[in-house]
Structure 1
Amino acid sequence: MQWTEKTRRIKNWLVVVAILIAVAALLASRYLVRDLQREEQGKMEVWAKAMEALNQEDEMTYLMLVTQVMESNNTIPVIVLDSKDQVMDYRNIDDTTSVREYAMRMKQSGNVIRIELDGDYQQVCYDESIMLKRLTYYPYWALAIVMVFALVAVFAILAAKRAEQNKVWVGLSKETAHQLGTPISSLMAWVEVLKESYPNDALIPEMAKDVKRLERIAERFSKIGSLPEPVETSMNEVLDRVIEYMDKRTSQKISIKGHYPDHAVMVRINASLFEWVIENLCKNAVDAMEGGAGKIDLWLLEEDDIVAVEVVDTGKGIKKKDIKNVFRPGFTTKKRGWGLGLSLAKRIVEEYHKGHIYVKSSEQGRGTTFRIELKKA
């Protein structure tokens, strides 16, 4: 199993654990709110009984104690109505202009205690205290804040990790280019010697092309990590060079063809790096054919202010579940592969050329289409 798959599973488990913790926190706060509601309801019953005792006061009633119980309520909104729903008294109400409407809402929600009097009755309507209301919403606000901080932390960690990986790849690329420099220079010298010694040998010019090719590869590696200067270039010529290079190094059972407009399509790119992107897509297409026959078509399209390059192959295709992962560093379906080609291709297209690369379509057993979009020069 690829390490990206393992990483994704670990992330999924972490998300599940986080959700379970959040649910547990919400349940715990819910139980706490329920207990407070019961406590407040009990207080209101005591308050109602105090009012009833005050209304039925006689010489045996401790008027001072009753009054103290009533005045001790400083948090719970209370409205006292008579039997005709007229307001008699209220406490802890800020907006006094709609006290009766507020009492009616309390009654509809069932927060009312009836006090029986001599042939009449009163109604004590109450609501949740401000503290209880705040406590009800507090867990959600707390979880939202925790989630925001968690997301910021995750993005910061991922950004730091990505920056560290980038530094590693940049250092490796530049060191590779440096190490290739000396043997390439030596090979170029030896090719010149061979040309002088065997001027009629047809293989020596091909060797010279391969050495030149190595020089271009070293140049590409040296540019990783820096912003290459884009130059107005004919995309037709770029694709022609890729086709010429791939055609000589691919099985005769695989045909590679280009389909261009009649005129030169100009774009601002770094030709060396962009050629590498197209080559990488073509090599992946060849690998997808698994040694069988097939074809690769390079389509150059102009759409308004967009220049698009589509690489269409007749390979085995990509599984739907893998399409979203093909550009992830380390993801590969090959037995021997590092999973870096498409990741670097995406970086070259999107970071260096401000374009877009994606899988336009893929069907198993029929092939895949990669599409690159760039702005016109």
Structure 2
Amino acid sequence: MNFSPKKKASNIVLLIASFVIVSLILWNTNSFFKKFKEEERHKMEIWATAHSELLQAPLDADPGELPIKIFQNNTSTPMILVDKDGATKTHNMPEEKANDKEYIDRAIEKFKKENQPIVIDYLGEELATLYYGNSQVLNKLKYYPLALLLIIFLFGTVIFFFFKTNKASEQNKLWAGMAKETAHQIGTPLSSLLGWNELLKAENINPEITKEIEKDIARLETITERFSKIGSLPTLEKHDIVAETKNAFDYLKHRSSKLISFSFNTQIERATVLLNPSLYQWTIENLVKNGIDAMRGKGNISIEIAKDNNYVHIQVSDSGHGIPRSDYQTIFNPGVTTKKRGWGLGLSLVKRIVEEYHKGKVKVLSSGKSGTIMQVSLQVVA
């Protein structure tokens, strides 16, 4: 991982350079559009001049090849020629609409907005007015800058999500590294505790004391194992979900306040799932502790297990203050917490363990003033 200022500066430079390049393309396209529009107007002025020469020429005179060639070459620009008497003549427009006055009037208004009309005169006398619209090529170029703006937006979005994903990846690596280092640091005093407990046994003290110490040492070993597995794919094996849930429940029950009432109910005796017991117990622990925090240390916690088709559902209920419906999804995001001193990692870990590692589902089944029910669903295997 590298959080150095040089890396951040290079990312910013890359982002700015990318936007400059796209902006230059946009500016160049806009300049090309204006230039092309000027060239098209110049072409129309030439056409108007040629038409003026034809109007001035005697009826029996040869108009020459140049005016005729100018007329023949202009096949892309739609035009409406209105003479001094109000008669209209269309060019490069649908022939069936040539006598449709409403269509012609609408087209003239449209052409006025697109281009300045050209007055054809001779010796100060107005002979006709030429209205013309944009050619098909020019119309396509007109929308090209909009397409580029869309490209800039999409490009910026991709860059944003790239940097966001990159940052999240670095943070995940940091958390994984810290977790593994924590597991490593716990290992040394844990070995000493094992030795001290053996010495206590040799002193013939109350066996219940050393037995409880052994349970806590086993608990520390489990925590160490959990932290050591963060950032790597855990091994899943077939286990009885009912037994594993009961083990986690019993441990939490004996080490929680007497003000908490615990109840465990199951509709099935056994259900085999692919499971990592250590991580699964961590899931149950987080859900139960969240419930206890929501009840402020006093209330009812219950776990119910039921089977539906190919899934077994574990429901953890509490009698706390509940979760707003608007937070049902965001509550699983890292950093989101309703506690004043919470880190917002518990439920995000639950979601990752259940959905990413065990391919299951976790959700807020229901929540209200009477409490919250969280449901974990795992697929049953033969």
Query: Who is 1:315 aligned against?
Result: 320
Answering whether residue 350 of structure 2 is matched by residue 359 of structure 1, we say: no
The one of 254, 267, 270 equivalent to 2:273 is 267
Percent sequence identity is: 40
CA contact 2:360–2:379 (8 Å) conserved in 1 = yes
The code of the aligned residue for 1:107 comes to: I
Query: Who is 2:77 aligned against?
Result: 76
| 1:202 counterpart SS class | helix
| 1:226 counterpart SS class | coil
Cα distance, 1:157 vs structure 2: 1.6
CA distance in 2, matches of 1:249, 1:108: 88
Report the TM-score, using the length of structure 1 for normalisation: 0.74
CA distance in 2, matches of 1:229, 1:238: 16
CA distance in 1, matches of 2:309, 2:128: 78
| Alignment of structure 1 residues 279-298 onto 2, 5 Å | 279-291=285-297, 293-298=298-303
Give deviations 1:3-60, integer Å, cap 9, x for gaps. xxxxxxxxxxxxxxxxxxxxxxx9xx99x9999989978986885685365245349x
Answering whether residue 193 of structure 2 is matched by residue 192 of structure 1, we say: no
CA distance in 1, matches of 2:96, 2:166: 57
Give deviations 1:118-153, integer Å, cap 9, x for gaps. xxx999785421233113321332133223322322
The one of 364, 371, 375 equivalent to 2:375 is 371
Cα distance, 1:213 vs structure 2: 0.6
Cα distance, 1:275 vs structure 2: 0.7
CA distance in 2, matches of 1:37, 1:287: 70
CA contact 1:282–1:296 (8 Å) conserved in 2 = yes
Q: Are residues 262 and 373 of structure 1, via their aligned partners in 2, closer, same or farther at CA, if it must alter by over 3 Å?
A: closer
Cα distance, 1:352 vs structure 2: 1.2
| 1:264 counterpart SS class | coil
Query: Who is 2:153 aligned against?
Result: 147
Query: Who is 1:100 aligned against?
Result: 95
Cα distance, 1:186 vs structure 2: 1.0
CA distance in 1, matches of 2:296, 2:176: 32
Query: Who is 2:107 aligned against?
Result: 110
For the aligned residues, what is the CA RMSD? 4.1
Cα distance, 1:216 vs structure 2: 0.8
Query: Who is 2:307 aligned against?
Result: 302
The code of the aligned residue for 2:283 comes to: V
Cα distance, 1:271 vs structure 2: 0.8
CA distance in 2, matches of 1:372, 1:145: 42
CA distance in 1, matches of 2:97, 2:376: 63
| 2:239 counterpart SS class | strand
Give deviations 1:44-100, integer Å, cap 9, x for gaps. 6885685365245349x9967866875785752347899xxxx98845x8xxxxx42
Q: Are residues 34 and 356 of structure 1, via their aligned partners in 2, closer, same or farther at CA, if it must alter by over 3 Å?
A: farther
Query: Who is 2:57 aligned against?
Result: 57
| Alignment of structure 1 residues 32-47 onto 2, 5 Å | 47=47
Give deviations 1:205-244, integer Å, cap 9, x for gaps. 1121111111111111111111111011111111111211
CA distance in 2, matches of 1:250, 1:44: 90
How many residue pairs end up in the alignment? 332
Query: Who is 1:345 aligned against?
Result: 350
Q: Which moved more, 1:130-139 or 1:234-243?
A: 130-139
CA contact 2:268–2:307 (8 Å) conserved in 1 = no
Q: Which runs of 5+ in 1 are unaligned?
A: 1-25, 94-98
Cα distance, 1:322 vs structure 2: 3.4
Give deviations 1:323-352, integer Å, cap 9, x for gaps. 332222222222222221122222111221
| 1:359 counterpart SS class | strand
Q: Are residues 210 and 67 of structure 1, via their aligned partners in 2, closer, same or farther at CA, if it must alter by over 3 Å?
A: same
| 1:256 counterpart SS class | strand
Answering whether residue 215 of structure 2 is matched by residue 209 of structure 1, we say: yes
CA distance in 1, matches of 2:241, 2:49: 90
CA distance in 1, matches of 2:243, 2:340: 34
Q: Are residues 81 and 265 of structure 1, via their aligned partners in 2, closer, same or farther at CA, if it must alter by over 3 Å?
A: farther
Cα distance, 1:115 vs structure 2: 11
CA distance in 2, matches of 1:52, 1:221: 89
CA distance in 1, matches of 2:238, 2:160: 40
Report the TM-score, using the length of structure 2 for normalisation: 0.73
Q: Which runs of 5+ in 2 are unaligned?
A: 1-25, 112-116, 121-126
CA contact 2:268–2:306 (8 Å) conserved in 1 = no
CA contact 1:261–1:300 (8 Å) conserved in 2 = yes
Q: Are residues 139 and 306 of structure 1, via their aligned partners in 2, closer, same or farther at CA, if it must alter by over 3 Å?
A: farther
Answering whether residue 213 of structure 2 is matched by residue 218 of structure 1, we say: no
